[in-house]
Structure 1
Amino acid sequence: MADELYDDPRLVALYDVQNNGRWDVDHYLALARRLDARRVVDVGCGTGTLAIELAERADHVTGVDPSAGMLGAARAKPGAEAVAWLQGTAADLPERGFDLAVMAGHVAQVFVTEEHWATTLGHLGRALVAGGVLTFETRNPAMQAWKGWTPQRSRAAAVIDGRLVESWHEVNDVGDGTVSFTTHYVLGADPTDHVESRSVLAFRDLPTLERTLGAAGFAIETVHGDWGGSAFTDGSPEIIVSARRG
């Protein structure tokens, strides 16, 4: 089963516990302030943390995600009523509806094939006004982050609703620009209560991003290599892009 994390309610509850850092949220909030973005879409919004905070100053925020479970968690959060929640993908967004589109949480890497990536960029270009900005981050493939996705190095534990949840990653295959892996979850004291979530991510380098964004009508304006705002280098862990629609 693919990406069980996004559908199993026991694992949806784990998402915010395992992804509780502020660095990406603060980065995108600051960008929205600098751009004075009034109409924003959070693509792949997950449990809605970023979308809800964006809505505190924007005129309109849409959070779009294909997972009903994730959107259910988002709608239950304080402040969720200020966001328009949409179950779907970038293809379901209105034409020229936004001046800023954000893909946080490495969402850009879930579009594995070049066709799917190009199609998504096309939908986002259609959804943005002329001069609108698309921003996202992706892991720098040169740093080979997947080498840390081993049971020994990735094992973690958290308590959810009074139950201990243990998790770890296991890489299945490293292909040409893609990595497939399985995340294991043991839900409580019974080791047989074991859920596997299988995922495939794309790893695109900066020249590939420049080429594909350009083909979709975007021009890259800034590229950072980490959440502290450092310029991108070959040794940067992240490729954090802001690109403007022509």
Structure 2
Amino acid sequence: MADELYADPRLVAVYDAWNGGRWDVEHYVSVARTLGARRVVDVGCGTGTLAMELSEQADHVTALDPAAGMLHAARAKAGAEAVTWVQGTAADLPESAFDLAVMTGHVAQVFVTDEQWAATLGQLARVLVTGGVLAFETRNPAAQAWRRWTPEDSRAETVIAGQRVESWHEVTEVRDGTVSFTTHHLLGAGPAEHVESRSTLAFRDLPMLERTLEVAGFSVESVQGDWDGSPFTEASPEIIVMARRV
């Protein structure tokens, strides 16, 4: 998991600027609407983009994140009082409290070890009612998205509070189903301040996801390969899962 990105207020602002209009938000809002979910938990909520949208249709939305910096930014947004913000992990949630749990923004990949992933799935099964749904996505390892995480292909610029920000990725290691990379940020102009954040993500294929979900007490109901609703294939960029607690 990235370190400075979730602690430095300047980088939290960069994260919020890049993720304010994510393409996955519409998908998960649609899932909640289709299921008629009234009690929803957003696991790894970041700065709260999805949780705020979900609060407009669900009776109770809990937004969970271990990073105080992310939650501070989320709570400062207009309408944030409609969401219950919790700093912590799934282990801190009450039992059988939710109809739907979502993990967006590739949060499923920050659980790097198999033990971390299994423990998280077990906790999510605990907090969902019987028949409740877990919805999440992860990058398809066969698509090798990290090959595009180069300074040339990933460089982007934005302006936050009048300050220019330039960012790019650089992969440092690919090993045993994980990818480690550094995100570089240049803040301001002439001379710009260089800030780095380091991350490691796990890439799990569909058979492994299905096995671990089954062990945790879930039954996979659907798998999509992209945000347009297309079915999953080996060439799909995403693995977008809906699984039901049985």
Q: Which amino acid aligns with 1:35?
A: L
Aligned length: 246
How far has the Cα of 1:140 moved from its partner?
0.4
Separation in 1 of the partners of 2:188 and 2:120?
Answer: 38
Separation in 2 of the partners of 1:125 and 1:191?
Answer: 50
List aligned pairs for 1:105-116, cutoff 5 A. 105-116=105-116
How far has the Cα of 1:183 moved from its partner?
0.2
Which structure 2 residue ranges, 5 or more long, are not aligned?
A: none
Q: Which amino acid aligns with 1:97?
A: A
Corresponding position: 1:56 with 2:36: no
Counterpart in the other structure of 2:122: 122
SS at match of 1:227: coil
Separation in 1 of the partners of 2:110 and 2:133?
Answer: 20
Q: Which amino acid aligns with 1:112?
A: V
Counterpart in the other structure of 1:30: 30
Relative to structure 2, which stretch is displaced further, 16-25 or 224-233?
Answer: 16-25
Separation in 2 of the partners of 1:95 and 1:191?
Answer: 51
SS at match of 2:24: helix
Counterpart in the other structure of 2:158: 158
TM-score normalised to structure 1 length: 0.98
SS at match of 1:63: strand
Separation in 1 of the partners of 2:195 and 2:90?
Answer: 29
Separation in 2 of the partners of 1:22 and 1:156?
Answer: 16
Q: Which amino acid aligns with 1:116?
A: Q
How far has the Cα of 1:138 moved from its partner?
0.2
> What do the CA deviations read for 1:146-205 (whole angstroms, capped 9, x no partner)?
000001111111111111111110000001110000000111124561111000000000
Counterpart in the other structure of 1:244: 244
SS at match of 2:96: coil
- The question of whether the paired residues in 1 share the 8 Å contact of 2:167 and 2:183 is answered with yes
Which structure 1 residue ranges, 5 or more long, are not aligned?
A: none
Separation in 1 of the partners of 2:79 and 2:90?
Answer: 23
SS at match of 1:153: helix
Separation in 2 of the partners of 1:49 and 1:2?
Answer: 19
Distance 1:32 1:2, change over 3 A: closer
Counterpart in the other structure of 1:202: 202
TM-score normalised to structure 2 length: 0.98
Relative to structure 2, which stretch is displaced further, 177-186 or 191-200?
Answer: 191-200
- The question of whether the paired residues in 1 share the 8 Å contact of 2:19 and 2:49 is answered with no
Counterpart in the other structure of 2:139: 139
SS at match of 2:34: helix
Separation in 1 of the partners of 2:20 and 2:69?
Answer: 18
**Aligned-residue identity in percent:** 74
List aligned pairs for 1:1-246, cutoff 5 A. 2-191=2-191, 193-246=193-246
How far has the Cα of 1:130 moved from its partner?
0.4
> What do the CA deviations read for 1:13-43 (whole angstroms, capped 9, x no partner)?
1112222434210000000001000000000
RMSD of the TM alignment (CA)?
Answer: 1.2
How far has the Cα of 1:76 moved from its partner?
1.0
